[in-house]
Chain A
Amino acid sequence: MNRKLIQNLAETLCKQVKHFNKTETECLIRLFNGLLGEQAERRAAHGLDRVKFRNILHNTFGMTDDMMMDSVFRAFDKDNDTYISVKEWVEGLSVFLRGTLDEKIKFCFDVYNLHGDGYISREEMLQMLKDSLIRQPTEEDPDEGIKDIVEIALKKMDYDHDGKVSYSDFEKTVKDENLLLEAFGNCLPNAKSILAFEQHAFQELHGQ
């Protein structure tokens, strides 16, 4: 992509996201292209594929949970074409790095909503939390603890008492207790890695 193209693209995109200005968007686009590697030259690339994206999540943002990383990919990939286009990239990062609480709530809900049906069900919670307790050797039922924790979470979140967590349930819960934003898994970057990423991505910006 030549510079003019990038600039035009940046101009379009930055209007659609809330948290990056034009220059920052340009940096992100360049970063994106860099990550795509030589594919960009071939212009056959549709975008970042799952593997590449997970590598970024792991290396740059320190995420380790496979299930979460897949879910984040899915949340970024809004049109579900298994690639993250540059638009999805910029939009996703806008929330990922600088989202307001509301944006983050929506993002996390999308991540946790594994089956995409608009609710977080018990099964989904069990799946997400299945490795979160060290198994006690004396326990007869190793999943007992997990099931219990899922019940606790459900009790806390299920405001309309329908046995699953809808978006509004989730929203209410998180507004009440911010800590529960990432209740089912680490899907947002921590402050340190955000800082590191931004410094790296926008260093040209600062340099200018």
Chain B
Amino acid sequence: MGVTLSRAIQWSSDGEKLENSSLNNDILTEILLFTEEFDDRYPEEAKIQFSEPLQWKTSLEASDFTSDIYDTRGELAVSLECGDKGHPLLQLSPPDITVHSFYHLSNLLQLGKDKKMKEVWACLEVNREPMKNIFGPISPTIHEDRLFNILRQLDEKLLSIAVRPITGEGRLSPAAVDTEVDLLKRFCGTGENRVLKTVRYTSDYVFSNGCRSPPWRQMDGEICSLIIETCDTEPTLFITCNTSGVFLDESVKRANFGRQFEHTQFESKVIPVHVEVYKDIITLLKNKSAHFAAAADEQDSAIQDVPSAKKIVHVETVDVEETGQTLKSYDHEEKNVPEKARQQLVRNKPGGRKKKLEPSLKWKNLGLTSSYDEAEEKARRSRESKKMLEHGTKSPASENKKKAIISGSSLPGCQSSQKIRSPGGADDFSESSSEDEEDEEQSERRAEIPTDLPSEYWQIQKLVKYLKGANQTATVIVLCALRDFNLVQETCQLAIRDVGGLEVLINLLDTDDIRCKIGSLKILKEISCNSQIRQTIADLGGLQTMVSILDSPDKELKCLAAETIANVAKFRRARRTVRQHGGIKRLVELLDCVPDGASLSGERERDAEVARCGALALWSCSKSTRNKESIRRAGGIPLLARLLKSSQKNMLIPVVGTLQECASEKSYRIAIQTEGMIEDLVKNLSCDNQELQMHCASAIFKCAEDKHTRDLVRQYDGLKPLVMLLNEAENKQLLAATTGAIWKCSISLENVA
């Protein structure tokens, strides 16, 4: 939020309000979604109290605070939860509202319903530096460090949204500018033969699309600004690089000279009509600085042709970029690209400098991935994309993609180098390679990037392509082959997703063929451990299909569907979807089984497996309050009670997990007691599985609110095992649950004795 709010968001000209632009809307929507889900995704960090609260004028009323963690009195509302200093973590006295933690921010937005966007807007208009509010001037503790990282990731994501609307139609592109600047930097120095004194950017911060200007100026085509000191002109030249060309910046010179050369938010910079626009920086410099022009002419062949070679090469890069969905997919179009690229070469060869560039039209795709990506992934890709382009423009000799085009091979790993010809001839390459010496480290990385992706990535993509055109028989073979890859690895998961594999897999679930469904679910089950994939599966309607598969008579199918739902339903929206499509009821029906103890016949064993998978799915789903209610209404509690009598650990863990999750509801606590589950819970405290012990302790903790339960715990000799568990010092979660349980139980004096 820090960088975005200070650089990317558009403020009105008086600086008071947020501009109502689509850019701002996108950013704020993202912030809204993030905050709304914060509590679900990061429950621990949500509880951290801000150093200073966020305060703003709200449109919410006390009547909106319907959740039972808030206390409303007339027009006022306060949270029951209080902070260290005794103040409530949320306080509403209209129109002012004060919030001290993300947990309450999250709740507020959910309760706010239609008004939530307004709230985000209002909050950010007033609290311009929320990071300062949250962390204060002191350096963050470990907890807050995590929070810091989460917010930083949000920031990066927001920035990617901010720079998304860039259209790069015009002469110049950030990469071309970067190239030129690097070239010019080479010609700076302190000696007599120097061409220039210094060249530097006005901003150190580079957005993911390579531009340095703030996003709203990027929409006018602005790429970056430079300060160049030449040997003979007035001390400094202020130059703006725009997609339509380069020009001198008179206004900036006057306004910013002597200040930090950062573009402030209040100047709108459109290209002034009277200023002359040049094709590139070098042309401008030649026009403005005689010294430069003279010096440059001497090294004519070097300067002249290398940029043009780079331009050619850059264009090629662009074309290749265009062909893929992402930076990394090398689809069939490669075969078409050689034609295009060769044509470009032919066209570009004669007439050196006069040609029109076709800069990348696909800046949107470059370095910008779907909004579900983790920020690191995106940051990595943006770095890679930058490098790819630098790579492409700087050292054609080692550009693998170029190899791919020209030599017609479709493998990214080719290393043959001398196929590209540029007008300058061999000299250029020695020039470029000397350049590489200082960027040696970088060039190695550059060379690695296209081949950075393991061969599995490409193999998987190939298999998914087959899936798209295969009949039932071939599909089964391919699905089995896909499973041989280590699908737990993120590369493999993303490989499947990047080439549209998730759509294919989900479509297979809609067919009539059981084998295809089973094969597909086996894969989906494994890859849905990845949170991006989960989101995508939910977006594609996968959950609805899986819920309807629960109706199938085939037990293996039911198990797989339930297990996959268990994996996907790890975020709020998914859980809601499951409920809305009747998933809870069906999952509860799966629990209908009598666990028989040690020896199970084949059929019974399969039923138990079905029940186990159902319990897993319900466990994931039970994190939503409405789902807890749905489970109860569907008659889940007696079924869970029956399953609790099982002796299989892998059955007990999800069952107790579900129970302890739901035990936050009073209705469940009552039911747990009346169905006689306390006895089983206490019994399992003494088992040898720490996870199970933890869940039992947790459930007891929650239920021990009630006196009768506490008596039962004592009655069933539950206190001793609880105390023994305190010895498990390493397992913090277990310790916490046990301590809680003991604490609650000790409310009854008889227990203390």
Binding site for B on A (CB under 8 A): 128-129, 131-136, 138, 145, 148-149, 152-153, 155-156, 177, 179-180, 182-186, 190-191
Q: Which residues of A contact B481 (CB under 8 A)?
A: 152, 155-156
Q: Which residues of B contact A155 (CB under 8 A)?
A: 481
Q: A138-B332, A179-B518, A179-B519 are in contact. Are A153 and B469 (CB under 8 A)?
A: no
Q: Is A183 in contact with B466, judged by CB distance below 8 angstroms?
A: no
Q: Is B469 in contact with A180, judged by CB distance below 8 angstroms?
A: no
Q: Is A182 in contact with B466, judged by CB distance below 8 angstroms?
A: no
Q: A152-B478, A156-B480, A180-B480 are in contact. Are A132 and B515 (CB under 8 A)?
A: no
Residue of B nearest to A192 (CB): B512
Task: Give 17 A-B pairs besides A180-B476, A186-B472 with Cβ atoms closer than 8 angstroms.
Answer: A132-B471, A132-B473, A133-B466, A133-B469, A133-B474, A136-B332, A136-B469, A138-B332, A149-B470, A149-B477, A152-B478, A179-B480, A179-B515, A182-B515, A183-B473, A190-B514, A191-B554
Q: Is A152 in contact with B477, judged by CB distance below 8 angstroms?
A: yes
Residue of B nearest to A128 (CB): B473
**Does B484 make an interface contact (CB < 8 A)?**
yes
Q: Is B473 in contact with A156, judged by CB distance below 8 angstroms?
A: no
The 28 listed contacts between A and B (C-beta, < 8 Å) are A128-B473, A133-B466, A134-B470, A135-B469, A136-B332, A136-B469, A138-B332, A145-B466, A148-B462, A148-B466, A149-B466, A149-B477, A152-B477, A152-B481, A153-B477, A155-B481, A156-B480, A156-B484, A179-B479, A179-B518, A182-B476, A182-B515, A183-B473, A183-B477, A185-B473, A186-B473, A190-B514, A191-B553
Give the CA-CA distance A156 to B474 in the complex, in Å. Answer: 13
Give the CA-CA distance A128 to B469 in the complex, in Å. Answer: 16
**Does B335 make an interface contact (CB < 8 A)?**
yes
Q: A133-B469, A156-B484, A180-B480 are in contact. Are A149 and B474 (CB under 8 A)?
A: yes
Q: Is B474 in contact with A129, judged by CB distance below 8 angstroms?
A: yes
Q: Is A129 in contact with B473, judged by CB distance below 8 angstroms?
A: yes
Residue of A nearest to B463 (CB): A152
Contact residue among A134, A138, A182 (Cβ-Cβ distance under 8 Å from B473): A182
Q: Which residues of A contact B518 (CB under 8 A)?
A: 179
Q: Which residues of B contact A128 (CB under 8 A)?
A: 473
Q: Is A177 in contact with B471, judged by CB distance below 8 angstroms?
A: no
Contact residue among A138, A148, A190 (Cβ-Cβ distance under 8 Å from B335): A138
Residue of A nearest to B476 (CB): A179
Q: Which residues of A contact B553 (CB under 8 A)?
A: 191
- Minimum distance in angstroms from B630 CB to a CB of chain A: 31
Query: Top 3 nearest A-B pairs by Cβ distance?
Result: A134-B469, A132-B474, A132-B471
Q: Which residues of B contact A183 (CB under 8 A)?
A: 473, 476-477
Give the CA-CA distance A179 to B462 in the complex, in Å. Answer: 21
Give the CA-CA distance A44 to B687 in the complex, in Å. Answer: 73
Q: Which residues of A contact B474 (CB under 8 A)?
A: 129, 132-133, 149
Interface SS of chain B: helix
Give the CA-CA distance A175 to B477 in the complex, in Å. Answer: 15
Q: Which residues of A contact B466 (CB under 8 A)?
A: 133, 145, 148-149
Give the CA-CA distance A180 to B466 in the complex, in Å. Answer: 17
Give the CA-CA distance A145 to B500 in the complex, in Å. Answer: 18
Interface range on chain B: under 10, 10 to 19, 20 to 34, or 35 or more?
A: 20 to 34
Contact with A along B535-556 (1 / 0, CB 8 A): 0000000000000000001100
Residue of A nearest to B474 (CB): A132
Q: Which residues of A contact B478 (CB under 8 A)?
A: 149, 152
Q: Is B473 in contact with A177, judged by CB distance below 8 angstroms?
A: no
Give the CA-CA distance A149 to B484 in the complex, in Å. Answer: 14
Residue of B nearest to A134 (CB): B469
Q: Which residues of B contact A153 (CB under 8 A)?
A: 477
- Minimum distance in angstroms from B693 CB to a CB of chain A: 36
Residue of B nearest to A184 (CB): B473
Give the CA-CA distance A156 to B482 in the complex, in Å. Answer: 11
- Minimum distance in angstroms from B523 CB to a CB of chain A: 12
Q: Which residues of A contact B335 (CB under 8 A)?
A: 138
Give the CA-CA distance A7 to B666 in the complex, in Å. Answer: 67
Q: Which residues of B contact A152 (CB under 8 A)?
A: 463, 477-478, 481
Q: Which residues of B contact A145 (CB under 8 A)?
A: 466, 469
- Minimum distance in angstroms from B500 CB to a CB of chain A: 15
Q: Is B476 in contact with A131, judged by CB distance below 8 angstroms?
A: no
Q: Which residues of B contact A132 (CB under 8 A)?
A: 470-471, 473-474
Residue of A nearest to B556 (CB): A178
Contact residue among A136, A138, A180 (Cβ-Cβ distance under 8 Å from B477): A180
- Minimum distance in angstroms from A180 CB to a CB of chain B: 6
- Minimum distance in angstroms from A151 CB to a CB of chain B: 10
Give the CA-CA distance A155 to B470 in the complex, in Å. Answer: 19
Most chain B CB neighbours (cut-off 10 Å) among A133, A155, A191: A133
- Minimum distance in angstroms from B465 CB to a CB of chain A: 8
- Minimum distance in angstroms from A150 CB to a CB of chain B: 9
Give the CA-CA distance A191 to B478 in the complex, in Å. Answer: 23
Q: Which residues of B contact A190 (CB under 8 A)?
A: 514
Q: Is A131 in contact with B471, judged by CB distance below 8 angstroms?
A: yes
Q: Which residues of A contact B515 (CB under 8 A)?
A: 179, 182
Most chain A CB neighbours (cut-off 10 Å) among B332, B473, B514: B473
Give the CA-CA distance A182 to B515 in the complex, in Å. Answer: 9
Give the CA-CA distance A128 to B346 in the complex, in Å. Answer: 48
Q: Which residues of B contact A149 (CB under 8 A)?
A: 466, 470, 474, 477-478
- Minimum distance in angstroms from A73 CB to a CB of chain B: 19
Contact with A along B600-616 (1 / 0, CB 8 A): 00000000000000000
Give the CA-CA distance A153 to B515 in the complex, in Å. Answer: 16
Most chain B CB neighbours (cut-off 10 Å) among A135, A177, A185: A177
Contact with A along B353-366 (1 / 0, CB 8 A): 00000000000000
Give the CA-CA distance A197 to B477 in the complex, in Å. Answer: 28
Give the CA-CA distance A152 to B479 in the complex, in Å. Answer: 11
- Minimum distance in angstroms from B579 CB to a CB of chain A: 30
Give the CA-CA distance A64 to B613 in the complex, in Å. Answer: 36
Give the CA-CA distance A183 to B470 in the complex, in Å. Answer: 13
Give the CA-CA distance A177 to B553 in the complex, in Å. Answer: 21
- Minimum distance in angstroms from B331 CB to a CB of chain A: 10
Give the CA-CA distance A149 to B466 in the complex, in Å. Answer: 8
Contact with A along B735-750 (1 / 0, CB 8 A): 0000000000000000
- Minimum distance in angstroms from B701 CB to a CB of chain A: 44
Most chain A CB neighbours (cut-off 10 Å) among B471, B472, B514: B471
Q: Which residues of B contact A191 (CB under 8 A)?
A: 514, 553-554
- Minimum distance in angstroms from A141 CB to a CB of chain B: 13
Residue of B nearest to A132 (CB): B474
- Minimum distance in angstroms from A148 CB to a CB of chain B: 7
- Minimum distance in angstroms from B576 CB to a CB of chain A: 33
Give the CA-CA distance A185 to B462 in the complex, in Å. Answer: 22
Most chain B CB neighbours (cut-off 10 Å) among A132, A134, A136, A177: A132
Give the CA-CA distance A136 to B519 in the complex, in Å. Answer: 24
Residue of A nearest to B515 (CB): A179
- Minimum distance in angstroms from B527 CB to a CB of chain A: 18
Contact with A along B492-532 (1 / 0, CB 8 A): 00000000000000000000001100110000000000000
Q: Is B332 in contact with A177, judged by CB distance below 8 angstroms?
A: no
- Minimum distance in angstroms from B645 CB to a CB of chain A: 32
